[in-house]
Chain A
């Protein structure tokens, strides 16, 4: 029981895990960059980013580049912490079994 306490339900999806991984090593990533890297559809990516935003793990900034709307994401302090905990829990889980 104790070893899975740190597994974060919110990260238990390939796309969400991917979003977090990209944001952990990049200051910012915009919507298109994430879409390309993760191979996700617009709607799919939007709903997953929304979920992470709601949990305050990522920060969303909408701006205009010229006349084009651009949405860029960055990870929050809380998100970083939670992601690290999640990864450590995964590692423990794997080494235990």
Chain B
């Protein structure tokens, strides 16, 4: 065997290791869209609270609170649906399977911390400690990303670390929770999505 054959061997090893253990079709565009949804949702919530709750982000009452919750849930759903559609489309283009071992593991490792965090946030909300939820959402979402990153493109873990740091800051300064939430879920998603889009999608 010549040197060239060995080089080819090594690049094939790398390729096989990636293909068999990582799901690489995550779409960058869906990240950008999720960020935009989050910003729109945050703007709606901000407007609601400013107009009907006397301008403080802490005193929620009745329907304002539930409308905010509804908006948040809608954002999460919309982001998930967009993500699934765009990722499926990309996987078809690259000939990758959408539902194989690597994508199952990715989803599982992502959903476990996320579900725990979601339930925890609901408990905190039921106790009326609204100020902590922004930070908690960021922290658990960040942990979910870090845990999923082993089974996808590695870059996703950096987004996770950033969310965790923002979340910790938000827990220390609950008054800025809303703005940090906007930076984390809105702006960071857009930045990350754009980065991914140009790094992997546009070729």
A90 and B12 form a contact (CB under 8 A): no
Other-chain contact of B12, A14, A26, A33 (Cβ < 8 Å)? A14
Q: Which residue of A lies closest to B18 (CB)?
A: A25
Stretch from A16-24, A59-67, A73-81 contacting the other chain: A16-24
Other-chain contact of B1, A12, A21, A26, A91 (Cβ < 8 Å)? A12
Bound together, the chains give a CA A94 to CA B2 distance in angstroms of 9
* Tally of B interface residues using CB under 8 Å: 15
B21 and A17 form a contact (CB under 8 A): no
Other-chain contact of A25, B1, B6, B12, B20 (Cβ < 8 Å)? B20
Chain A's nearest CB lies how many Å from the CB of B153?
15
B17 and A25 form a contact (CB under 8 A): yes
A93 CB contacts on chain B under 8 angstroms: 3, 6
Other-chain contact of B16, A22, A87, A97 (Cβ < 8 Å)? A22
Bound together, the chains give a CA A97 to CA B19 distance in angstroms of 29
B16 and A37 form a contact (CB under 8 A): yes
Q: For chain A, residues 38 to 81, give those with C-beta under 8 angstroms from any C-beta of chain B.
A: 38
B12 CB contacts on chain A under 8 angstroms: 14, 17-18, 21
User: A29 contacts the other chain (Cβ, under 8 Å)?
Assistant: yes
A94 and B17 form a contact (CB under 8 A): no
B101 and A17 form a contact (CB under 8 A): no
User: B202 contacts the other chain (Cβ, under 8 Å)?
Assistant: no
Other-chain contact of A37, B6, B9, B19 (Cβ < 8 Å)? B19
B21 and A25 form a contact (CB under 8 A): yes
A94 and B7 form a contact (CB under 8 A): yes
User: B10 contacts the other chain (Cβ, under 8 Å)?
Assistant: yes
Q: Which residue of A lies closest to B8 (CB)?
A: A14
Chain A's nearest CB lies how many Å from the CB of B99?
13
Q: For chain B, residues 56 to 104, give those with C-beta under 8 angstroms from any C-beta of chain A.
A: 101
Bound together, the chains give a CA A94 to CA B12 distance in angstroms of 15
Q: For chain B, residues 1 to 49, give those with C-beta under 8 angstroms from any C-beta of chain A.
A: 1, 3, 6-7, 9-10, 12-14, 16-17, 19-21
